[in-house]
């Protein structure tokens, strides 16, 4: 087993020796970087999907977590259990610094969640006085948003009302925060 230190959240997680985490940081083009990774790992079957997304003019996410492992496995957890090599990359689109930190925290949580083991986020949220009642029942994407919020609060502790880009997931996060009385505390 080895420890992996994450940048935005500062979480340190324990993982299998055959998991290789790559924090690719900030990139200029999400689709371009994803395509480069596909080439690096000799994955050609998905390039047409990236082209469709790129041509569709739909909003593309501000960050990505991409895993690469032998295609005979159904998940990277299954590959790790069989001692196969797994490479996980996280990266976010260049933006303003606060958005980048938020998105990096979001993407890092995908790794934390998929890796299994103890979840450091509820305890971390409590350090900012956030009531985490019901956290375990939240969908993974909402937990990722909470990790983004935590990263923002950790990096900019004097910013008591951070601005969040509103999307359906942040709306659900805000509803959960409000239900637990956190919005009244200025978060």
Long-range CB contact pairs, 158-161, < 8 A, 24+: 159/98, 160/186, 160/187, 161/186, 161/187
Least confident of 31-35, 125-129, 145-149, 178-182: 178-182
pLDDT at 56 over 70: no
pLDDT at 129: 86
Counting Cβ atoms within 10 Å, is residue 8 exposed (0-12), middle (13-18) or buried (19+)? buried
Higher pLDDT, 126 or 158: 126
- Parse the chain into domains and list their residue ranges: 2-185
Who has greater pLDDT, 12 or 57? 12
Helix ranges restricted to H, the chain: 30-40, 47-56, 76-81, 97-115, 121-126, 140-155, 168-179
**Alpha carbon 73 to its chain's center:** 22
For residue 87, the model assigns a pLDDT of 94
Q: Given the DSSP bridges, would you call strands 2-5 and 12-15 parallel, antiparallel or unpaired?
A: antiparallel
Q: Is the pLDDT of residue 186 over 60?
A: no
The string of pLDDT tens digits covering residues 79-93 is 999 999 999 999 999
Q: Are 150 and 9 in contact (CB under 8 A)?
A: yes
What is the average pLDDT across 157-166?
74
Distance, in Å, from the CA atom of 86 to the CA atom of 76, rounded to the nearest integer, reads 6
Q: Is residue 170 within 8 Å of residue 135, measured between CB atoms?
A: no
């Amino acid at each position: 087993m080895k420890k992996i230190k994450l940048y935005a959240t500062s979480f340190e997680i324990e993982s299998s020796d055959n998991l290789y985490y790559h924090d690719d940081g900030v990139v200029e083009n999400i689709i371009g970087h994803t395509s480069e990774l596909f080439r690096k790992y000799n994955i050609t079957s998905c390039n047409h999907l990236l082209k469709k997304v790129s041509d569709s003019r739909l909003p593309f996410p501000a960050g990505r977590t991409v895993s690469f492992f032998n295609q005979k496995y159904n998940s990277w957890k299954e590959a790790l259990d069989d001692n196969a090599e797994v490479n996980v990359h996280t990266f976010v689109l260049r933006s303003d610094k606060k958005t980048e930190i938020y998105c990096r925290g979001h993407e890092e949580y995908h790794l934390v969640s998929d890796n299994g083991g103890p979840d450091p986020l509820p305890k971390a949220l409590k350090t900012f006085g956030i009531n985490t009642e019901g956290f375990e029942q939240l969908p993974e994407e909402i937990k990722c948003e909470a990790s983004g919020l935590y990263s923002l609060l950790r990096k900019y502790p004097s910013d008591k009302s951070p601005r969040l880009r509103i999307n359906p997931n942040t709306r659900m996060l805000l509803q959960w925060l409000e239900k637990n009385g956190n919005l009244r505390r200025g978060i």
